[in-house]
Chains A and B, each alone.
Chain A
Amino acid sequence: MSLGREKEKEIRIDDVSMVFGRKGREVTALSSVSFDIYRSEFVSLLGPSGCGKSTLLRLLADLLQPTSGRITIGEEVPREVRLKRKYGIVFQSPTLFEWRTVKDNIELPMEVLGLKKSEYSAISNRLIDMVGLTKFKDHYPWQLSGGMQQRVAIARALSLDPPILLMDEPFSALDEFTKEKLQLDLLDIQKQTNKTIVFVTHSIPEAVFLSDRVVIMSAHPGRVHSILEMEREEGSYEQIRNSGRFHEMTAKVRECFQLSKQQLHA
């Protein structure tokens, strides 16, 4: 969806730095990170462990405040966006409530918002079908595999149908088939609802397959190494995955990724 570029900027990240810890024992998780994300764009954050991907996502979600710099989402600061529940978030771990069934877990954000059960029951049922957990909707998290738990977390993030989705390695615990299905579902959702998606991943093919742009980060301190434009193609999953273009782009991203790592060791 390279059309997104002509559209307006949705998220502006302007010279953002994040330093953890007290004086003397500081850890610079992010150093002068600046880039923009367009409305309805799919942006992946790719980088070695510890380069600050999760930290950046937390800053966007207003779960952390930057040490310096500014983040603007639409015309608002992240805090307003959070209070208006304009984003859905999937953390690196499923963070399900163990006393709630699959269905109740998915309904949590709608419950917190103060909607009535009669209003949201149909929504959660649709989401359960989508993530393939229809038979498990009355199961508890401990009765599910890790991948199934993560699917519940994804459905929960979609429950308020937010314009922005923040996802921290949501598919990394899934088997290939489920991953493929959910990747396609996510693209479908984005196409139909024009969500802006910020997606953290370790997988280069996944980033290439899903993204409009891939932001490659380097670590210590966390910085943006390069931003690569992807050309998304039409076609089936296999067609795209086997196309020459896909391989070309994967190679390009891999090259940048290697460079960003070398920078780390230099």
Chain B
Amino acid sequence: MKEMTAMNTERAPVSSSLAREAEVAKSNKTKSASGKESRNVWLPIGFGFLFLILWQLKIFHKLFHLELYQLPLPSAIAEAIHSNGDLLWNYSLYTGSEMIGGCLIGSAIGLLAAIIASFLPKAGKGAITLLAALNAVPIVALAPVMNNWFGDGVASKIAIVSIMTMATMAVSAYKGLRSVEPAYLELMQAYAAGRFTVFAKLRFRLALPAIFTALKINMATGIIGAIVGEFFISSRGLGFLLSDQIKLGNMPIAWSCIVIAAVLGIALYYLIQLIERFAIPWHAAQRKQAS
């Protein structure tokens, strides 16, 4: 291939046109507006604070005719979190591990199912449709059964969350794996790439955005699964504490559970977003931010 180095470097018009293209491409690249990105962060934070202030000033109480025991003030909730710190921390870890464990196991099974199905074009589609039916199973029905199978510890809630999340991942990842433009398949075919090479070098890469989207949805589903699961079967965890304290009329502690669950959900969402940014920097959503 030595011959291919032949290059007409002495052709001035050519190099100038290349230089012009270089300029264009560079200016496209450096135009990334860091101002826009920081505005994206501060806006929700600003709104969050405004919301808290209105809440603390009892605006919502007046609007919806609520009493303080029905909707405690942010200061009272903060006080409750502070004075029950150890308990809430332990329960957060407990519920968090149910949620993350279930979400990871469910997503892993779903992804594996999607990958296997993607290799079986005809049978695969039917199998995924069948798996999607899991989404229709109500958690209310699932909880007692899982309690019966796995007891009232972490395992039953992990099972609930797994079942609730695997279908979403399977359907989403399968769609991603199968939605390859024909031109790219032709390219791989032209280079005599086998099915596994096409999977590893093309399909899986193209499916990554769909996989991350499913993970984010699954984290949210996971919180619901873990907390509602604890309503039915548990003597520990944020969901247990929440339902227990509401029964006792201890609203500030009940609300601390809600706040912590929300913070946990938001934190995990951003964690996945961060991983996504490293895993698929080419993805359109991030690309738009960069240009």
Contacts and interface: CB of A to CB of B under 8 A. Distances in A.
B38 interface: no
B25 A185 contact: no
Contacts of A175: 17
Nearest to B11: A181
Interface stretch (B83-91, B185-193, B251-259): B185-193
Contacts of A192: 3, 6
Task: Name, among B3, B4, B186, B188, the residue most crowded by chain A CB atoms within 10 Å (CB to CB).
Answer: B4
Contacts of B13: 177, 180
A142 B287 contact: yes
Interface size class of A (residues with CB under 8 A): 35 or more
A82 B187 CA distance: 11
Contacts of B205: 97, 99
The size class of the interface chain B forms with chain A is 35 or more
Given A95-B184, A112-B193, A143 B29 contact: yes
Contacts of A85: 191-192
Nearest to A153: B187
Interface in A96-133: 97-99, 108-109, 111-113, 123, 126-127, 129-130, 132
Interface string B270-288: 0000000000101000010
A113 B1 contact: no
Given A112-B191, A112-B192, A139-B25, A161 B14 contact: no
Interface string B1-33: 111111110010111111001101100110000
B197 A112 contact: yes
A112 B183 contact: no
Contacts of B24: 145
Contacts of B5: 126, 129-130
B190 A181 contact: no
A132 B1 contact: no
A180 B24 CA distance: 21
Contacts of A87: 190
Contact of B8 (A83, A143, A181): A181
Contacts of B25: 136, 139, 143-145, 148
B4 A145 contact: no
Contact of A95 (B183, B192, B197): B183
A184 interface: yes
A61 B190 contact: yes
Contacts of A178: 14, 17-18, 21
Interface of B: 1-8, 11, 13-18, 21-22, 24-25, 28-29, 183-184, 186-193, 197, 201-202, 205, 280, 282, 287
17 contacts: A82-B190, A85-B192, A87-B190, A89-B187, A89-B190, A111-B201, A112-B192, A112-B193, A126-B4, A126-B5, A129-B5, A132-B7, A143-B25, A178-B14, A180-B13, A185-B7, A192-B3
Interface of A: 58, 61, 63, 82-85, 87, 89, 91, 93, 95, 97-99, 108-109, 111-113, 123, 126-127, 129-130, 132, 135-136, 139-140, 142-145, 147-148, 158, 161, 175, 177-178, 180-181, 184-185, 188-189, 192-193
Given A112-B193, A180-B13, A192-B6, 11 more contacts: A63-B190, A83-B192, A91-B186, A126-B5, A136-B25, A177-B14, A178-B14, A181-B11, A184-B8, A185-B7, A193-B4
Q: 5 tightest A-B contacts by CB?
A: A192-B3, A177-B17, A181-B14, A188-B6, A99-B282
